[in-house]
Structure 1
Amino acid sequence: MRLDRNRQAGVEIQYSLIFLIMKRPSFVHKGNRYHLTHLDSFDWHYRVKAGRERPDWICKFQVIFSDHCFTRNPFSGEEVAEDMWHEGPRGKRVFCFKRYELSFRLPEIIRTLGERVCYRTPHGNFLTVVALTIREGKQVEYEIYFDVVRASRKGWLHLIVQSAYERTKDHETMRKKRKIRLDVIAYNRRVGKAIRSGP
């Protein structure tokens, strides 16, 4: 999901966000219920320290999670069972148990995004990579793609988590790009200043 490409079409962006903000029903598979309430939208106030050209300020985000955080595209040649499809705002995708498990970490990761290294991508959005320890001590790299757009609420921004998954041979990352801080992203988006995409 690359909402940045629709930045000029504000109506389309707001229409898409309505579906992402709505409460999601649980995904049910073989009698097991997989709740998605941990990916409900939430408000986050992020304090930005004063810099050379701007004072200390509070950045007000509404954090929104895409269904790409727990679903995926089918693999080439994969036959997907009917009960594995999840209906999202932009069509059907395959429910992914690995992404779902990792997605429980997302709210806390996002609340610490201001302390993390972020990168620009060629698509105009942003990336952060988090080292996680999961079951049985396995180490994984968790890639989180996000964008920031102005919200309809005055002074607010939407922080949209567009996708998040473990780096594997099926999902190899792009080479890390030019670094950028969250406060720089937020300030430029708030004042409408363009941010150059990664190379």
Structure 2
Amino acid sequence: MKAFPKFDYQGIEYDLTHLTAFSCDYIQPAKSDGTAEKRYRCIIEFSTHCFTRGENKRKGEKLSDIESALHYVTAKETRIFCFERYQVSKMLPQIMREISRNKCYFTSADDKFLTISVTDKNGKKVDYEIYFSLQRAKSPKHDVHIYINSAYIRDGDYKENHGTKVRRKPVGFFVLLHNTLINKRIKRPK
């Protein structure tokens, strides 16, 4: 997989090589019931949504309202380069290397997500939401392909519907990997 092209704005270059796809092995420890240790060889890939944002429809924002120098253009879409998402995205590779230590949750779209507390630019703890999907890898070098669909700090501009807190159900990361590998549908807990 190739790296995202760097982004230039007002003479400053924003390097995106930290979001180049990489391989990562996750090791599920052996269990006391005699179940052996299991290794999952994964490829982790990131989307542009990890460092760009869409128009804020709540505020009636249109792409044409945004300075064109901030447009990040790909063959699929044009989005807005987001300095905050870019800054926080530098932590994504390490977060994904350690994802098996955290609980994952279902979203309404049946993708999975993970929430990590991070410190924002003002020194305040905030929730960094990472949305990802899994599928069996096509490469014989990997078992599972993990695609990071989006990642951002939840703020007032991107609140959940009507400001109500959605009760999310946890699912173990190794359950996600195992079920993906054996083509077993991952059911949302009730």
Question: TM-score normalised to the size of structure 2?
Answer: 0.87
Question: 2 CA distance for matches of 1:178 and 1:53?
Answer: 28
| SS of structure 1 residue aligned to 2:158 | coil
Deviation at 1:53, TM superposition (A): 8.4
User: Residue 72 of structure 2 aligns to which amino acid in structure 1?
Assistant: H
Tell me the equivalent position of 1:85: 71
After TM superposition, the runs of 4+ consecutive aligned structure 1 residues lying more than 3 A away are 51-54
| SS of structure 1 residue aligned to 2:135 | strand
The alignment's C-alpha RMSD in Å is 1.8
2:171 to 160, 174, 180: 180
Question: 2 CA distance for matches of 1:176 and 1:22?
Answer: 37
Question: 1 CA distance for matches of 2:76 and 2:125?
Answer: 32
The answer for unaligned runs of 5 or more in structure 2 is: none
Question: 1 CA distance for matches of 2:66 and 2:91?
Answer: 27
Which of 1 and 2 has greater Rg? 2
CA 1:91/1:118 → structure 2, altered by over 3 Å: closer, same or farther? Answer: same
- Deviations 1:27-84 (CA, angstroms, capped at 9, x unpaired): 1111111000010111001101234585311100101011000011112333111111
Aligned residues: 179
- Pairing 1:141–2:127 present: yes
The answer for unaligned runs of 5 or more in structure 1 is: 1-20
Query: Which residues in structure 2 correspond to 1:53-132 (within 5 Å)?
Result: 54-76=35-57, 77-78=60-61, 79-132=65-118
2:18 to 21, 24, 38: 38
Question: TM-score normalised to the size of structure 1?
Answer: 0.84
Deviation at 1:88, TM superposition (A): 2.6
Identity across matched positions, percent: 31
User: Residue 32 of structure 1 aligns to which amino acid in structure 2?
Assistant: I
